[in-house]
């Protein structure tokens, strides 16, 4: 293999990898601009060395693919992607090719919405199916999820026999901020940008989740229509408005490429003020007859081109670095900058990601740095242009919120405070402490906890056990009866098993199952707090990361004070588990997957544990049985691959008599 052929193949593999991360996993690792530049490099090499061209190259494929989570939909009109242009010179080359082919031409210029492309189909004016683009030929049926998006009309204003339209589902910037706040509160990995948030939200199995995410849609094309004669793109957009669709905004018909470039510049200048993300502007031939004459390549229509805006970058001075503490305890560095105009807004703060990023770039206070907007949402420091000092900035050793010692994650780059009483984390910790799988305090949901904190009723976790009826009843929206119900639930939680309390503490890497194993093994909270690493490792199912996490947590004075305070409030500190009288499943591990006909998976897990068995979330050679219901996915395939015995609910019920 020649060096050139190897370079082409390596580029193809790299693009396939990043395409999969972007389209199918909704978790990109590089910026769009970097991906576009890799694609541009591959296109240039394939043109220069046509002997190495292949039909399966990423240059000839639409990036996505249909996911087996949903039913497949075969598109009768191919959902093509667009050819990209990165300079005005390329736009004029496109204009020349069009004029050479069809003569005089008008264009429509519109913003390129950064979201997830979908098809909407209507019969006799009624919405009956919606699907994703997928690979352009086959997509996913996401009708239920599309139907809950506010601007997807379920009935059109005109009763036309059939129409299929193409649109872009996106997440408005305000919705994105709310979703990310919620994810951080729940200790979930936040979406990187609104595009990935939209894609992840549209592919939810539960349409209620999709509905809660605040998605929206712009429709920008008629794929096919019966019952109406449409001759131009501008006419089609106007007609879509009449039907009740939320059409792509800011579209304009122009008579020349000079006018198109002016419009592109105007859209680019306004992008920072828009409530939605755009990553470019699209120029389309207006006449549908001329479009037919121009045709398409294997991937792109020849009648349209997308101008991609380069990420705007500016240089400025790094004045200081501020360390914030997130709701999960992670210390986050923020650059305080000399003000600079960037993508239509004034930027004075930017993310520095983590200590590894700062060390890698050699960042010090006083440096001249380059700032850009990642995905046009979050400003970030890209690199250092001029160093002011050889002393690279280092994180503090103590939490800036509570003063406790901070720890670096054993399995990542995050540095975090694990103090359960840290003011910056208290709301999140309280919500977890009261949740169903933890202390199960009915009535103390997130909104009520926040209300109690705002009114000074709770400032530390153990304040929950000092609440009184009168203080609660005096708050707006509460009555004596509702206050009594909350206190009854609080008092009831004092009798919970030790395992619930261990889980409620929110120790990193310790879930509900691990908490049960620890509780059953050590029997008392004192024994857990005094345990060494080797003792914890004796528990089947506890590894080094979990053991060290427990040691780190209970070594903090704040955790020790919390346990003493909970003891004084009368919270149970002992395990209530007794050895199973019938241990028919002793030494057996079950993996549950899919939906069982009558049993909830949590119920089946309790039954297994009551007979001395264990449950696991993943299939391995140590798995004894896989209990499978409807829509069992990859775990079932893994079980077959490893020859693990697969049982259904009837067989399971027979096993337990």
Active site residues: 112
Furthest CA-CA distance within the chain: 88
Burial of 115 (0-12, 13-18, 19+ CB in 10 A): buried
Exposure string over 434-452, b if 16+ CB within 10 A, otherwise e: bbeebbebeebebebbebb
Q: Quickly count: other Cβ atoms within 10 Å of residue 408's Cβ.
A: 15
Classify 43 as helix, strand or coil: helix
DSSP symbols for 490-559:
HHHHTTS-HHHHHHHTT-TT--HHHHHHHHHHH-BHHHHHT--HHHHHTSTT--HHHHHHHHHHHTSHHH
CA atoms of 593 and 628, how far apart (whole Å):
5
End-to-end C-alpha distance for the chain, whole angstroms: 64
The H or E element containing residue 26 is none
- Phi, psi torsion values for 424, nearest 5 degrees: -70, -20
Written as one string, the DSSP assignment of 615-647 is EESS--TT--EEEE-BT--HHHHHHHHTT-EEE
Residues written for the chain? 657
- Alpha carbon 250 to its chain centroid, in Å, reads 29
Q: Residue 490: how many CB atoms within 10 A of its CB?
A: 20
The three-state DSSP-derived secondary structure of 55-121 is CCCHHHCCCCCCCCCCCEEECCCCCCCCCEECCHHHHHHHHHHHHHHHCCCCEEEEEEECCEEEEEE
Phi, psi of 95 (to 5 degrees): -60, -40
CA distance 260 to 257: 5
Q: Is 254 helix (H, G, I), strand (E, B) or coil?
A: strand
């Amino acid at each position: 293999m020649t060096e050139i052929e190897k370079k082409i193949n390596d580029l193809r593999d790299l693009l396939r990898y990043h395409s999969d991360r972007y389209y199918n996993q909704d978790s990109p690792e590089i910026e769009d601009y970097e991906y576009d530049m890799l694609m541009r490099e591959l296109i240039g090499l394939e043109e220069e060395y046509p002997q190495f061209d292949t039909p399966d190259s990423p240059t000839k494929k639409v990036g996505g693919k249909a996911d087996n989570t949903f039913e497949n939909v075969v598109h009768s009109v191919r959902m093509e992607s667009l050819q990209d242009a990165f300079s005005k010179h390329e736009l004029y080359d496109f204009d020349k090719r069009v004029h050479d082919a069809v003569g005089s031409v008008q264009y429509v210029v519109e913003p390129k919405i950064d979201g997830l492309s979908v098809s909407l189909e209507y019969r006799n004016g009624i919405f009956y199916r919606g699907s994703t683009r997928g690979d352009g030929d086959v997509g996913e049926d996401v009708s239920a999820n599309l139907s809950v998006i506010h601007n997807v009309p379920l009935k059109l204003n005109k009763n036309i026999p059939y129409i299929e339209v193409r649109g872009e589902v996106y997440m408005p910037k305000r919705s994105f901020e709310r979703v990310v706040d919620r994810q951080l509160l729940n200790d979930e990995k936040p979406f990187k940008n609104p595009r990935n948030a939209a894609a992840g939200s549209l592919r939810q199995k539960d349409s209620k989740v999709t509905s809660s995410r605040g998605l929206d849609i712009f429709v920008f094309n008629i794929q096919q229509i019966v019952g109406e004669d449409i001759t131009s793109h501008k006419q089609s957009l106007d007609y879509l408005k009449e039907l009740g669709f939320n059409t792509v905004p800011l579209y304009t018909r122009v008579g020349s490429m000079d006018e198109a470039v002016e419009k592109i510049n105007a859209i680019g200048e306004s992008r920072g003020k828009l409530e939605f993300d755009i990553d470019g502007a699209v120029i389309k031939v207006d006449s549908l007859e001329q479009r037919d004459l121009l045709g398409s390549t294997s991937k792109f229509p020849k009648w349209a081109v997308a101008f991609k805006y380069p990420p705007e970058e500016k240089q400025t001075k790094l004045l200081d670095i501020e360390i914030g503490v997130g709701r999960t305890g992670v210390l986050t560095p923020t650059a305080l900058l000399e003000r600079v105009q960037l993508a239509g807004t004034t930027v004075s703060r930017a993310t520095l990601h983590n200590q590894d990023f700062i060390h890698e770039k050699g960042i010090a206070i006083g440096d001249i740095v380059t700032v850009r907007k990642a995905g046009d949402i979050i400003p970030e420091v890209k690199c250092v242009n001029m160093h002011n000092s050889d002393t690279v900035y280092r994180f503090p050793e103590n939490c800036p919120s509570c003063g406790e010692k901070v720890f670096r994650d054993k399995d990542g780059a995050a540095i975090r405070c694990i103090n359960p009483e840290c003011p910056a984390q208290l709301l999140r910790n309280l919500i977890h402490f009261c949740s169903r799988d933890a202390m199960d305090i009915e009535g103390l949901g997130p909104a009520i906890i926040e209300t109690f904190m705002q009114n000074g009723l709770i400032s530390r976790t153990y304040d929950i056990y000092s609440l009184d009826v009168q203080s609660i009843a005096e708050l707006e929206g509460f009555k004596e009866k509702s206050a009594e119900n909350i206190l009854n639930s609080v008092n009831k939680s004092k009798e919970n098993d030790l395992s619930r309390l261990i889980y409620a503490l929110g120790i990193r890497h310790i879930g509900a199952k691990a908490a049960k194993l620890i509780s059953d093994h050590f029997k008392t909270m004192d024994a857990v707090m005094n345990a060494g690493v080797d003792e914890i490792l004796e528990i089947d199912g506890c590894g080094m990361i979990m053991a060290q996490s427990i040691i780190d947590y209970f070594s903090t004075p704040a955790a020790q004070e919390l346990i003493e305070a909970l003891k004084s409030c009368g919270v149970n500190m002992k395990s209530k588990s007794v050895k199973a009288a019938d241990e028919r499943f002793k030494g057996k591990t079950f993996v549950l997957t899919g939906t069982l006909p009558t049993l909830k998976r949590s119920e089946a897990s309790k039954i297994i544990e009551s007979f001395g068995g264990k449950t696991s979330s993943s299939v391995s050679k140590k798995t004894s049985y896989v209990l499978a219901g409807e829509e069992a996915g990859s775990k079932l395939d893994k079980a077959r691959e490893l020859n693990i015995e697969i049982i259904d609910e009837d067989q399971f019920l027979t096993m337990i008599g």
